[in-house]
Amino acid sequence: MIENMEWYRAFYEVAQTGSFSKAAERLFITQPAVSHAIKQLEFRLGGALFFRTSRGVKLTAEGEVLLKFVSQAHHFLENGEKKIAEMRKLMAGEVKIGAGDTLCRYYLLPYLESFHRDHPNVKIQVTNRTTRETVALLKEGRIDFGIVNLPIDDRQLQIRESIALHDCFVAGPAHSATAALPLSWEQLARLPLLMLERGSSIRRHADAFAERQGVRLRPEIELGSIELIVQFARIGLGVGCVIREFVAGELADGTLRELPLEEALPARRVGLVTLRDVPLSAAAQRLLELLP
């Protein structure tokens, strides 16, 4: 067990300079302090490490052996300091993010592109999971931060609210007549619905709101992504439950039309979650600052 690292620093500098006084200058301490450190180390190891000559001090055979290991440790520490400095300057490092497929594709991806362009040497790892699974990964220390659907009530988490999301129902040209007048939830439930699989935040949100309206939604087709719902709706296979902000292009060019509802779904929010009182790396902090 290493008793005192300062002894080894003194040993290394004396070995490099061949002088107790020059070692003291490099270490910004007194020569007696260097001599004391060497004596303590020699006592600890049970033998002399230096012998005096007319030109200063030289290493004993034992000292030569020790210097090989101390030099290696010194270079490792220097490299560690250099790597930390590079990480602070975002010249290296890694960011681990947890996010669902939809939030990753439509919310995170544009900012990842910008971050990677500015900091190409920072490694980015994205794990696609549901909101609940993302929170679990965060608590296990496997990701730096998560991008989730709110609300979440958890005292272990630091939560920052981000953009608002509006769930809505859309249809392609085949259902254009349906988009003329506001629909009741009873009328909506009778349409061929395209929805995400059970367990997703969008599905839970829509199902819960429909039940408060006294309606149970029974989709004809359940899919695994918003993109698939959009494609199915475009070719007339049904009415899709999507996020308005993420299909803005299709709504603008008329590929899809939103079905107005008498009672619209309330807005949700994206949340950026970290573990409370756990510091982030410089790279993770910088990426978080980019996100709205």
The string of pLDDT tens digits covering residues 50-68 is 999 988 899 999 999 999 9
- 38 has a pLDDT exceeding 90: yes
Cα gap 268→271, rounded to integer Å? 10
In the structure, what pLDDT confidence band is assigned to residue 173 with cuts at 50, 70 and 90?
Answer: confident
- Angle between helix 5-17 and helix 61-88 axes, rounded to 10 deg: 110
- 180 has a pLDDT exceeding 70: no
CATH 1.10.10.10 placement within the chain? 5-88
Identify the CATH homologous superfamily for domain 167-266.
Periplasmic binding protein-like II (3.40.190.10)
- 209 has a pLDDT exceeding 70: yes
- 206 has a pLDDT exceeding 90: yes
pTM of structure: 0.70
pLDDT value at position 232? 96
pLDDT value at position 80? 79
pLDDT value at position 179? 60
The closest alpha carbon to 57, from 44, 38, 41, belongs to: 38
250-257 own/partner pairs: CB under 8 Å, 24+ apart: 250/170, 251/170, 255/172, 256/170, 256/171, 256/172, 256/230, 257/170, 257/171, 257/172, 257/175, 257/176, 257/179
pLDDT value at position 156? 92
Pick the CATH number of 94-164+270-290 from 3.40.640.10, 3.40.50.10610, 3.40.190.10, 3.40.50.300: 3.40.190.10
In the structure, what pLDDT confidence band is assigned to residue 39 with cuts at 50, 70 and 90?
Answer: very high
CATH 3.40.190.10 placement within the chain? 94-164+270-290, 167-266
